[in-house]
């Protein structure tokens, strides 16, 4: 692998960090390798927003190789809202550009004394003042930095005002609308006074066996182009399944209190395609092109359209059936640099508490929070992004917002990360996905809703079970988490329907390995357990594996009316499949040793 460039922003000192050879094989790259590298740094005492806190931009062995959906990378550290392992996956072109500059990662610590941005041109790094950029939105910042460095093909990662103000769910954006949305890595970047990172490289991106890799990637991309799911994503975007999710009662409505949204036709990927879609966008080398480009009647130029989470978060979640306003809210969050899931979820909690009389206009600064009121939603988004008024409280996320008013249990979150918009009352596997994810209530560490919709994968033992099946699903979920851990290491998009045998062939060709599918799955299991061990060291235990009250309350309506997942039974079965200790929540010593995680076995068990 290529080295990682390490930078201490306090001193300006740089050095090349060379990855131990054993780690390359055992942890491959992306989130898994980042977890191994940061393992000893991430302690319970570490303040995620302190200068000591690491921010690691980590590439995978296939990043930028034009393999199937492999333009991606991950940004890792300690989550400021969760206090746990944080990783955020992002596409675009920035990752490939960093690899072309000769690095497989950028590891930042310290804090600059004043706002700065980085300009990495090949192996030459400049730290430049960003005083004039502080306060600028994400789009403007990208344009200005690009203009200043004078290199047209430079790629730029940025934070917006929300990151500067350390909104706990601030995101990092690159290549215009591509976002590392979850876990607040934008706040960590802001805490370092780091506004942007521009990168340009001209090297060829290394793969172990180029000839073999090219042949495999060609075949894989060809299949992916014609794959049904890929065609759905391309044609109607990720929000294309909105109607189906609503039909199943798997789309949370009115802050997770209803499972029915009759207006779904008005706020779906299909509606967007029929009305305002003017183009599609793709990350580097991607044949799917799920990105939406839209133009509203009031617009003078084209802009990014919403994906599924933004569509539901600012749509059904807030009883808003106005598609154009959802485009606006997604755009506003992007400009401030905020995760649309956490933003809309936390706003949903505010509306919910307002309806219950727990907060009033005295708390909101006079704003009436009436469901579906687009003006009120927009005001809250702006107040969060600028941390003004009640926005300052909301900027801490739903857990702390709820706790402030004495109703933490009303917040639909797990371990400080807001639940995404795939309801486990409609697709029960998501109960375990949310409860056991290493980064809080995340839908991407295991997008098991796809399996519950019907996407089985028998080659790796993930069979199709009824969407309301309970504990019998636990082994399936564990295998799915391992499978996705492979993607997050490679780094490959979870929308790429690439068969296990094909995927392992690509990995072997790219990395010079001789893995079987079973080896690949064992690798995934190792990654999952490593992240668990990191979290155990930071204080996570079995009591953290839980669901919020709302998700254990039956929907009164819709396609999943009356059902709730039996999370206790599911967890008992899950722990057995995982080889985890039910009392402490730690992987057993035997399991850690079996996976070659000897150091972690010693740390957790003595």
Partner 1 sequence: MPAIFPSEEWLKGLEEKLNSDVRYGDIAKKWEGDLFFFIEPEGNLKEQLTFYLDLWHGKCRKVEYKPRPESYPNPVFTLTATYTNITALLTGQLNPMTAMMTSKLKVKGSMGYMMRNVPTVLDFVRVAQEVTQEIL
Q: Between 308 and 531, whose beta carbon lies closer to partner 1?
A: 308
- Can you tell me which of 235, 378, 557, 561 binds partner 1, judged by CB under 8 A? 235
DSSP per-residue string spanning 22-61: HHHHHH-SHHHHHHHHHTTT--TT--TTSTTS-EEEEE-T
Q: Please choose, from the candidates 263, 281, 370, 386, the residue with its C-alpha nearest in 3D space to the C-alpha of residue 332.
A: 386
Which region, judged by CB under 8 A, interacts with partner 1, from 170-178, 224-232, 339-347, 478-486?
Answer: 224-232
93 or 449, CB closer to partner 1? 449
Residue among 134, 247, 371, 605 that touches partner 1 (CB under 8 A):
247
Task: Tell whether residue 240 is a contact of partner 1 (CB under 8 A).
Answer: yes
- Single out the residue of 274, 262, 131, 240 nearest to residue 193, CA to CA: 131
Helices (H), 356-395: 361-364, 374-386, 390-394
Question: Which residue, 228 or 301, is less far from partner 1 as judged by CB?
Answer: 228
How far apart, in whole angstroms, are the C-alpha atoms of residue 423 and residue 251? Answer: 6
Helices (H), 43-128: 94-100
Residue with Cβ nearer partner 1 (123 or 456): 456
Which 456-475 residues touch partner 1, going by CB under 8 A? 456-457, 464
Q: Which two tokens stand for residue 147?
A: 């203009």
Q: Is residue 557 within the footprint of partner 1 (CB under 8 A)?
A: no
Q: Which of 39, 93, 453, 515 binds partner 1 (CB under 8 A)?
A: 453
Rounded Cα–Cα distance for residues 541 and 544 (Å): 6
Is residue 538 part of the contact set for partner 1 (CB under 8 A)? no
Interface pattern 73-92 for partner 1 (x via CB under 8 A) = --------------------
User: How many amino acids of this chain bind partner 1 (CB under 8 A)?
Assistant: 26
What are the beta bridge partners of residue 280?
Answer: 292
Measured CA to CA, the distance from residue 323 to residue 366 in angstroms comes to 26
Nearest CA to 5 among 113, 127, 88, 161?
127
68 in contact with partner 1 (CB under 8 A): no
Task: Please select the residue that binds partner 1; options are 150, 357, 406, 454, rule is CB under 8 A.
Answer: 454
**Can you tell me which of 229, 266, 299, 378 binds partner 1, judged by CB under 8 A?**
229
| Binding of residue 307 to partner 1 (CB under 8 A) | no
Token pair 């009356």 in the structure block, residue: 562
The answer to the question of residue 494 lying near partner 1 (CB under 8 A) is no
Residue 360's Cβ-side half-sphere holds a number of Cα atoms within 13 Å equal to 2
Per CB under 8 A, the segment of 60-68, 100-108, 173-181, 264-272 that binds partner 1 is: 264-272
Cα–Cα distances in Å, from 523 out to 24, 48, 506? 12, 28, 15
**CB nearer to partner 1: pick between 472 and 598:** 472
Rule CB under 8 A: is residue 576 a binding residue for partner 1?
A: no
Q: Write out the two tokens for 43.
A: 């302690």
Question: According to CB under 8 A, which one of 243, 281, 527, 573 is a site residue for partner 1?
Answer: 243
Cβ-Cβ contacts under 8 Å for 87 (sequence gap 6 or more): 31, 34, 35, 74, 75, 76, 183, 439, 488
Q: Is 561 in the site for partner 1 (CB under 8 A)?
A: no
Among 48, 190, 249, 269, binds partner 1 (CB under 8 A): 269
By CB under 8 A, which span of 27-35, 96-104, 451-459, 582-590 interacts with partner 1?
Answer: 451-459
Q: Minimum Å distance from CB 123 to partner 1? A: 44
Which member of 89, 136, 260, 273 binds partner 1 (CB under 8 A)?
Answer: 273
- The Cα–Cα gap between 209 and 424 comes to 42
Going by C-alpha positions, the residue among 373, 377, 323, 388 that lies closest to residue 345 is 377
Q: Rule CB under 8 A: is residue 543 a binding residue for partner 1?
A: no
| Closer by beta carbon to partner 1, 244 or else 605 | 244
State the minimum distance, in angstroms, from the CB of residue 551 to partner 1. Answer: 23
- The residues facing 580 across adjacent strands are 587
C-beta of residue 282 within 8 angstroms of C-beta of residue 297: no
Stretch that binds partner 1, among 121-129, 233-241, 301-309, 514-522 (CB under 8 A): 233-241
By the rule CB under 8 A, 450 interacts with partner 1: yes
From the list 194-202, 235-243, 423-431, 584-592, the region that binds partner 1 by CB under 8 A is 235-243
**Residue 371 binding partner 1, by CB under 8 A:** no
- In the three-class reduction of DSSP (H, G, I as helix; E, B as strand; rest coil), residue 401 is classed as helix
Q: Three-class SS of residue 197? A: strand
Q: Give the one residue of 236, 250, 478, 493 binding partner 1; rule: CB under 8 A.
A: 236
Closest of 380, 45, 7, 331 to residue 193, by C-alpha: 7
Tell me which residues touch partner 1 (CB under 8 A). Answer: 226-229, 231-232, 235-236, 240-241, 243-244, 247, 265, 268-270, 273, 450, 453-457, 464, 497
């Amino acid at each position: 692998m290529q080295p990682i460039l390490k930078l201490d922003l306090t001193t300006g000192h740089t050095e090349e960090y060379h990855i131990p050879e054993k780690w390359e094989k055992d942890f491959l790259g992306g989130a898994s390798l980042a977890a191994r590298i940061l393992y000893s740094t991430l302690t319970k005492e570490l303040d995620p927003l302190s200068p000591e806190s690491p921010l690691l931009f980590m590439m995978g062995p296939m990043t930028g190789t034009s393999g199937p959906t492999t333009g991606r990378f991950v940004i890792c550290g300690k989550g400021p809202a969760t206090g746990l392992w944080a990783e955020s996956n992002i596409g675009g072109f920035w990752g490939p550009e960093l690899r072309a500059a000769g690095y497989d990662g950028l590891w930042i610590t310290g804090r600059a004394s004043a706002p700065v941005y980085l300009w990495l041109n090949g192996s030459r790094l400049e730290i430049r003042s960003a005083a004039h950029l502080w306060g600028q939105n994400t789009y403007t910042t990208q344009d200005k930095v690009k203009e200043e460095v004078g290199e047209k093909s430079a790629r730029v990662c940025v934070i917006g005002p929300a990151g500067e103000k350390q909104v706990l769910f601030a995101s990092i954006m690159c290549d215009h609308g591509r976002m590392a949305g979850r876990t607040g890595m934008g706040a960590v970047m802001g805490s370092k006074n780091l506004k942007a990172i521009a990168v340009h490289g001209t090297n060829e991106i290394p793969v172990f066996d180029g000839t073999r890799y090219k042949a495999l990637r060609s075949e894989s991309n060809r299949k992916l182009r014609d794959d049904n799911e890929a065609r759905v994503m391309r044609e109607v975007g990720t929000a294309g399944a909105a109607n189906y999710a609503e039909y199943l009662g798997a789309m949370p409505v009115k802050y997770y209190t209803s499972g029915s949204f009759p207006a779904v036709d008005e706020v779906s990927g299909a509606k967007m395609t029929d009305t305002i879609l003017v183009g599609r966008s793709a990350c580097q080398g991607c044949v799917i092109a799920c990105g939406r480009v839209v133009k509203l009647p009031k617009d003078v130029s084209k802009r990014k359209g919403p994906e599924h989470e933004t569509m539901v978060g600012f749509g059904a979640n807030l009883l808003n059936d106005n598609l154009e306003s959802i485009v606006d809210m997604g755009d506003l969050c992007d400009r401030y640099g905020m995760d649309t899931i956490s933003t809309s979820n936390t706003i949903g909690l505010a509306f919910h508490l307002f309806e219950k009389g727990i907060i009033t206009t005295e708390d909101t600064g006079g704003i009436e929070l009436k469901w579906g009121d687009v003006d009120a939603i927009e005001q809250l988004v702006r107040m969060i992004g600028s941390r003004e008024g009640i926005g300052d409280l909301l900027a801490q996320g739903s857990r702390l917002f709820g706790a402030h008013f004495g109703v933490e249990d009303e917040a639909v979150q797990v371990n400080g990360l807001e639940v995404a918009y795939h309801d486990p009352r409609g697709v029960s596997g998501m109960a375990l996905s949310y409860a056991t994810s290493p980064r809080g209530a995340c839908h991407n560490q295991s997008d098991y809703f796809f399996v519950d919709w019907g996407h089985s994968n028998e080659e790796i033992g993930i069979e199709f079970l009824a969407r309301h099946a309970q504990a019998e699903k636990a082994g399936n979920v564990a295998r799915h988490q391992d499978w996705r851990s492979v993607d997050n290491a490679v780094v490959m998009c979870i929308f790429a329907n690439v068969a296990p045998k094909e995927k392992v062939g690509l990995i072997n060709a790219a990395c010079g390995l001789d893995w079987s599918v079973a080896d690949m799955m064992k690798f995934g299991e190792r990654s999952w357990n490593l992240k668990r061990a990191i979290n155990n060291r930071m204080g996570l235990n079995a009591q953290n594996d839980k669901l919020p009250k709302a998700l254990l309350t039956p929907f009164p309506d819709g396609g999943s009316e009356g059902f709730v997942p039996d999370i206790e039974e599911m967890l008992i079965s899950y722990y057995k499949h995982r080889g985890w200790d039910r009392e402490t929540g730690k992987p057993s010593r035997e399991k850690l040793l079996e996976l070659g995680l000897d150091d972690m076995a010693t740390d957790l068990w003595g």
